[in-house]
A and B are shown apart, each in its own frame.
Chain A
Amino acid sequence: MAGGGGEKMNVDEAKQKFEEAGYETWITEKMAGVRNKAARKTLWVRVQKEKFREAMQFFKDMADQYPHFSIISCTDLGSNVELNYHFALGYGSHLEEYVVTFKVSLPKDDLEIDSITDIFPAVIYSEREIQEMMGVTVKNIPDGRHMFLTKDFPSGIYPWRRDESGVKETNKLYERWKDEA
């Protein structure tokens, strides 16, 4: 599992392994380079909420090097919230690195996900962030304080939401042109 040296698992092999384990996957890519063309690839893996921790453990065991955790992104899609766990795999292999993104969809009436800090310790800041920004409850999070919002930020308001719990009041003090009128 330690990095460096040897043949690395490429994106197609990783895709196959996920598919064998029963996950829905697809790859997107975009070409880069001028004289030496190469494609940057993203592997998307859809994971059911119930199987989320299992999938993360599977990913860590399957990978031939320690996956580099990047970030959790979060989108409000109306009736549900979609979490994307972005990882990168394959560093050290020239131009063969790829992004692995796990998609988890949570219904709005049950916004809860398991913490994976015990599997990937680096996710802690990101988990704290989705709690305050999207109102997702992360179960068993070791540190549940606010990360980027102030301690006294009104509860029940989540900046990334697109429904009634999104940001309603913004700061109008900057609108100086109104001072003159």
Chain B
Amino acid sequence: MIPKAFKRSLWVFHINSGSCNGCDIEIIAALTPRYDAERFGIKLVGSPRHADVIAFTGPVTNDMKDKVIRIIEQTPDPKVIVVIGSCGIGGGVFHESYHLAGPIDKLYPNAKYFYVPGCPPRPEAIIQAFAKAWEWLEEVEKK
């Protein structure tokens, strides 16, 4: 990670749109002492209005479609979404189901997306994705 990135903390809001919990527990594992993402200032927050980045898991079920879009709209611009897990990216094992609304980047295209493939990805990969999102945010800010 570049040292400049330590200028500000990165606050993350976690949305589960119907995932199997595998990625969700790995996100928490990334925050707890072994991987300790909090030492970089990466922190889960309880409200989308405080978030710099959204950690997004799950293939978006029909019922969650409107709800996740409403939550994403509440986050400040620029909207950065880190999609964690294969099912959020391309449906994974759940693709073709009758109760899914579609991958989030097609439902909400006006955001910068970062992808972490894996079922579930390792905590290191999740932290790296946040670091990438962070670098991108810093660059946008410079401009």
Question: A43 vs B93: C-alpha distance in the bound complex, in angstroms?
Answer: 34
Interface of A is mostly: loop
- The answer to whether the Cβ of B110 comes within 8 Å of any Cβ in the partner chain is no
Question: A57 vs B66: C-alpha distance in the bound complex, in angstroms?
Answer: 44
Q: Using a CB–CB distance below 8 Å, which chain A residues touch chain B?
A: 149-150, 153, 159, 167, 169-176
| A171 x B106 contact (CB < 8 A) | no
| A170 x B106 contact (CB < 8 A) | no
Known: A150-B62, A150-B63. A174 touches B101 (CB 8 A): no
Question: A39 vs B95: C-alpha distance in the bound complex, in angstroms?
Answer: 39
Interface of B is mostly: loop
Q: How far is the CB of B22 from chain A (nearest CB, A)?
A: 18
Q: How many residues of B contact A (CB 8 A)?
A: 15
Known: A174-B91, A176-B90. A149 touches B99 (CB 8 A): yes
Chain B residues, CB < 8 A from A170: 96-98
Question: A171 vs B91: C-alpha distance in the bound complex, in angstroms?
Answer: 10
Contact with A along B90-121 (1 / 0, CB 8 A): 11000111111111001000000000000000
Given A170-B96, A172-B96, A174-B91, output 20 extra A-B contacts at Cβ < 8 Å: A159-B98, A159-B99, A167-B98, A169-B98, A170-B97, A170-B98, A171-B95, A171-B98, A171-B100, A171-B101, A171-B102, A173-B103, A173-B106, A174-B59, A174-B90, A174-B95, A174-B96, A174-B100, A174-B103, A175-B95
